[in-house]
């Protein structure tokens, strides 16, 4: 089947995928644009992890204002090329990340970047709680470890359940977008402002 060049262009702008990949996906899905996007996503997930080490120095600075100007997020998300930064798929991801930060106020992007003081403080709290249960030392250590894992999952952006689809984490969401767009994507910095609160900057 022949594929209309305009449809290929639309798919390429939507996903950032290569011209030949877009053509192939449209042929396989008989010109169905939505199915072609899904096809490209499936084909790309396997490759997405390999792209994680590539340098991402392009991207967007995005501002999101919520609650009639009472809550705002300024976010930097990076990709490899200016072309991908302009695609709908990348912009949608950045918007979703901003909403996530506004709603959940994460302390950090990943568990590796949580400050040592916060980790130490949380561990001490959980240690005191566990000790009061009079359980053996090795059990206490496992309890503290489990509570720290839960803390990271709730407070580190990449590990949080995506508020629009709690079955996937933010890391899953980013990996899916990497698969679709074909470039490494990473969260740079963000700052969250809320009227009457001290702001959270990462």
Q: How is the chain split into domains, by residue range?
A: 5-109+156-201, 115-154
CATH code matching the domain that covers 5-109+156-201, chosen among 3.40.50.2300, 3.30.230.10, 3.90.550.10, 3.30.479.20: 3.30.479.20
Provide the pLDDT for residue 46.
Answer: 47
Question: Residue 81 pLDDT more than 70?
Answer: yes
Could you read off the pLDDT of 134-163 as tens digits, one per residue? 778 888 888 888 999 999 999 999 999 999
Provide the pLDDT for residue 62.
Answer: 96
What strands, in cross-sheet order, belong to the sheet with 200-201?
58-66, 71-79, 186-194, 200-201
Of the candidates 6, 9, 27, 28, the residue with the CA atom closest to the CA atom of residue 19: 9
Question: Residue 20 pLDDT more than 80?
Answer: no
Q: DSSP letters along 103-172, please?
A: HH--SBSSGGGS-HHHHHHHHHHHHHHHHTTT--HHHHHHHHHHHHHHHHHHHBGGGSEETTEEEEEHHH
């Amino acid at each position: 089947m022949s594929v209309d060049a305009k449809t290929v262009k639309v798919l390429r702008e939507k996903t950032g995928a290569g011209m030949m990949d877009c053509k192939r996906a449209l042929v396989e899905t008989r010109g169905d644009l939505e199915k072609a996007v899904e096809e490209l996503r499936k084909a790309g997930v396997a490759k997405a992890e390999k792209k994680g080490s590539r340098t991402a120095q392009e991207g967007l600075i995005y501002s999101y204002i919520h609650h009639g100007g009472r809550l705002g997020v300024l976010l930097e998300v990076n990709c490899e090329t200016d072309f991908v930064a302009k695609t709908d798929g990348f912009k949608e991801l950045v918007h979703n990340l901003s909403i996530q930060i506004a709603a959940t106020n994460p302390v950090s992007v990943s568990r590796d970047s949580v400050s040592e003081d916060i980790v130490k403080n949380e561990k001490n709290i959980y240690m005191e709680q566990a000790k009061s249960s009079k359980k053996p030392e090795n059990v206490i250590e496992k309890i503290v470890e489990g509570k720290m894992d839960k803390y990271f999952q709730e407070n580190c952006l990449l590990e949080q359940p995506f508020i629009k689809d709690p079955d996937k984490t933010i890391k899953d969401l980013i990996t899916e977008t990497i698969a679709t767009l074909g470039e490494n994507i990473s969260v740079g910095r963000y700052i969250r402002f809320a009227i009457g609160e001290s702001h959270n900057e990462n």
